[in-house]
Amino acid sequence: MNAKKPVKLDDLVAEIEMKIDDTFTFINMTTGEVITLTSEEYSAAEDEQPLEKFPIWQRENIEKAIRIIEDEDGVYVDFTLKHDFNEYEIIENFIGTLEDGDIREVLYEATQGRGAFRRFKDGIIEHGIDKQWYRYKESKIKELVIAWCKEQDIEIQA
């Protein structure tokens, strides 16, 4: 394998924040590129479907998927952290950091049952702590990404 290039921390954080279902994300270790493929593109590569069946804009990703599937040199790493990310845990931890006990209680109750994410987001806006939440969330995602990359021996670029 060629020399490893660092991957941009912001690219990996953005992948987690987008939370798009039915996608696969890989890191090209020789270029540092973060590659996101739809399940359709990945399946087309697995099933060796003719590229002509797909629109031109999708063919490049299918070709990337083919290279990923055929990769025997360990050039591509599956960004599995994207699937293991648990926003609810981060929300609970954030609520625990709040100094105002009344707001803590309101937000804790808001996160119970169906519609918890919507109620939480409404609550942080209502109490004027939405910016605080987004800073906290981003810092926690960065911590998770950095720890995951360290475990995978992936160099990151801030």
Type of residue found at 97: T
Residues 30 and 4: beta-carbon distance below 8 Å: yes
- 35: pLDDT confidence band, cut at 50, 70 and 90? very high
Helices then strands, counting H and E runs in the chain, come out as 8, 5
Summarize pLDDT for 128-150 with one digit per residue, the tens.
999 999 999 999 999 999 999 99
Residues 157 and 9: beta-carbon distance below 8 Å: yes
